[in-house]
Amino acid sequence: MGAFARICRYISKNWPLFLVSVACMLVSTIVSVQIPLLTRAAIDNVITPLAEGKLDVELGKSTLFILMLEIIGLTVVVGLFSFIRRYASTYFSQKVVYDIRNDAFAALQSQSFAFYDKTHTGQLLSKVTTDMDRVRRFLGFQLAFLINSIILLIVTLYTMFSINTMLTLFLLPIMPCIFATFYSFGKKIRPLFTRMREQYGSLTSVLHEAIAGIRVVRAFAQEGFEREKFASKNDRYFQTALASAKIRAVYIPLVGFLIGLGTIIIFWYGGFEVIMGTLTIGALVAFNAFLAMLVMPMRFFGMFISGYHLTMAAGDRIFRVIDAETEIKEKPDALTLPKLKGHVKFENVSFSYEKGRPILKNITFEVRLGETVALLGATGSGKSTVIRLIPRFYDVSSGKTTVDGYDVRDVRLKSLREQIGIVAQETFLFDMTIKENIAYGKPSAKMDEVVAAAKAAIAHDFISALPRGYDSRVGERGVTLSAGQRQRIAIARALLMNPRILILDDSTSSVDVETEYEIQQALQALLKNRTAFVITQRVSTIRNADKIIVLEKGEIAEEGTHDTLMAKKGAYYQVYQTLYETQKPIAEAASEHASPKQEETKK
């Protein structure tokens, strides 16, 4: 189905508003055409007879006053119906785009991670903002004015033919010329406008980057390089703006010439008929007013065609987002998971982000209730991929992943994911208050629950020290907080859900060793009777895990407890020794700063 047909489906949901807008257009157009006719009456029935002495002055004044009141009244009526039409048209276009925008956002929310792996964020934002705004302007302005122009053209031409057929026929050849001029103008100017928008966005990006990274620029003495980069973008924008100005300088006077040519025809032929007595002066003046009214439809018809194609292209891009099939689909008979115990099993799991490039190869392991599993391996070994398969962010290429015996592909995603707490390596906080961020997974949580989760994540003290405490806003992506503070809030957010399965993806990488030690002490109690998957480079966390899985190139190289794997002196032994030697100085420093109570707990 084409973009226009798809847009019409949304229009059909809001057709009453559309009909109100069209009705108001019809009324205001018919009324506006009457104003030149009243002008004709004023000239022919009052002003000319008064000038020739054929009408009593007092009667002429009163008649002229009444005609002026009628013109004012018609102008008020036109203004009133134009207001209603504009409001209804704007409401209609906004409502249609509101529905499309909601569908697009819902489609984006339902998409799998694989979709975002392949699509640039900037492109998606452009489709949901710039392209959506083009559709809105088409519905609220271009479509409305198309109908208005058709009505105005028909009514005006009918009125002109009724006054003087020959003069109207003389003027008609001018109309296609004006149309062709505006069509050519629109065809040439729109690509330049599009390029200017893109270049302006690029110019803004360079400016934003230079300001945001001003410390780096100054540190590396690259002010000159940044000036050249900005000047290059600025020059491109300047040249495009000049090209568009050149086109306007050619076409706008050309339209003025054609309108002037129409005026010459009116006064040449019309003036001749006035002399011959077959046309009145008032009708001649009215014809000139009608010519001005006809310019708008011709102008719009010329601009509409190119605008229509651009809008349909924007619509195609939007509907491709809405129609994009998600790779993660729920089965029609998907089960709603009961409360999980936390038994996770991987059975001969293989996975590839791209065909021919396997990330995981025949992974098989089992994690029972209450066990903590540490995943260890070099970058690209598949650690993060393993934990992404548990909440079914991706589907396995072969094999299966189960929780409590349920294949994750057979259950409802919401019932699965709401029982899994995740703290990612890259902490993301929303531009909300700290309380709202912690309660993001459980909006109904009471304040004491939020505080308890924050205390468990060793976040309560620094939150309480803030001027507004838990009501403090964290800024975009949590910019007002340190990396360690952001991670502790993310841990609190996961813990508040009281998940049966907890995933910590290097969640303490941005905290100092002492803080990490405190968090680990808090997590020990929280991990009890809870299945946990931990990706970390911290030796203290690895050593305390119930099971350690070492991955190499997407395969399990070793699996077992710390003592068992150290005794084997294999891959784990080598990795652990390297990590231990690296972290030994700061681990000892953290031990010195630990409180007596913490030392006793450690023992």
Greater confidence (4 vs 549) lies with 549
Judged by average pLDDT, the poorest of 115-124, 143-152, 320-329, 473-482 is: 115-124
Distance in angstroms (rounded) separating the CA atoms of residues 12 and 4: 12
Residue 603 has pLDDT above 50, yes or no: no
Q: Which helix (H) or strand (E) holds 71?
A: helix 57-110
Distance in angstroms (rounded) separating the CA atoms of residues 99 and 105: 10
Domain annotation covers residue 135: yes
Query: What is the distance between the terminal CA atoms of the chain, rounded to a whole angstrom?
Result: 69
CB atoms within 10 A of CB 118: 9
Domain annotation covers residue 107: yes
Strand partners, 504: 423, 534
Residue 341 has pLDDT above 80, yes or no: yes
Phi, psi of 563 (to 5 degrees): -65, -40
Those residues with Cβ within 8 angstroms of residue 36's Cβ, 6 or more apart along the chain or in another chain: 285, 286, 289, 290, 293
How much of the chain is helix, strand and coil, in % rounded to 5? Answer: 70, 10, 20
CATH of the domain at 105: 1.20.1560.10
* Residue 518: predicted pLDDT: 61
* Residue 348: predicted pLDDT: 92
* Residue 345: predicted pLDDT: 92
* Average pLDDT of span 366-393: 87
Domain annotation covers residue 339: no
pTM of the model: 0.65
Judged by average pLDDT, the poorest of 199-213, 232-246, 326-340, 557-571 is: 199-213
Question: What confidence category does residue 364 fall into, taking pLDDT thresholds of 50, 70 and 90?
Answer: very high
* Residue 553: predicted pLDDT: 84
Domain annotation covers residue 260: no
Instruction: Residue 422: name the closest of 452, 387, 447, 457 by CA.
Output: 387
Question: Coil, strand, or helix at residue 420?
Answer: strand
Domain annotation covers residue 506: no
Residue 598 has pLDDT above 50, yes or no: no
* Residue 81: predicted pLDDT: 87
Quote the distance between the C-alpha of residue 128 and its chain's center. 4
> What DSSP assignment string belongs to 229-273?
HHHHHHHHHHHHHHHHHHHHHHHHHHHHHHHHHHHHHIIIIIHHH
* Residue 516: predicted pLDDT: 63
* Residue 317: predicted pLDDT: 76
Tokens of 327: 């790779």
Domain annotation covers residue 101: yes
Distance in angstroms (rounded) separating the CA atoms of residues 65 and 71: 10
Question: Which long-range contacts (C-beta less than 8 Å, at least 24 apart) are formed by 65-74?
Answer: 67/38, 67/41, 67/42, 68/42, 70/38, 71/35, 71/38, 71/39, 74/31, 74/32, 74/34, 74/35, 74/38
Q: How many CA atoms lie within 13 A of 125 on its CB side?
A: 4
Tokens of 304: 């509409």
Domain annotation covers residue 244: no
* Average pLDDT of span 190-211: 75
Residue span of the structural domain in which 69 resides: 1-163
* Average pLDDT of span 204-209: 76
* Residue 402: predicted pLDDT: 92
Domain annotation covers residue 82: yes
Judged by average pLDDT, the poorest of 102-111, 154-163, 537-546 is: 537-546
Contact 30, 155 (CB under 8 A): yes
CB atoms within 10 A of CB 144: 23
Q: How many domains would you assign to the chain?
A: 1
Q: pLDDT, tens digit, for every residue of 402-437? A: 999 899 999 998 888 888 888 877 777 888 888 988
The torsion angle over the Cα atoms of residues 283, 286, 287 and 290, rounded to 10 degrees, is -150
Judged by average pLDDT, the poorest of 223-237, 287-301, 515-529 is: 515-529
* Residue 594: predicted pLDDT: 45
Instruction: Residue 134: name the closest of 381, 280, 310, 294 by CA.
Output: 310
* Average pLDDT of span 4-28: 82
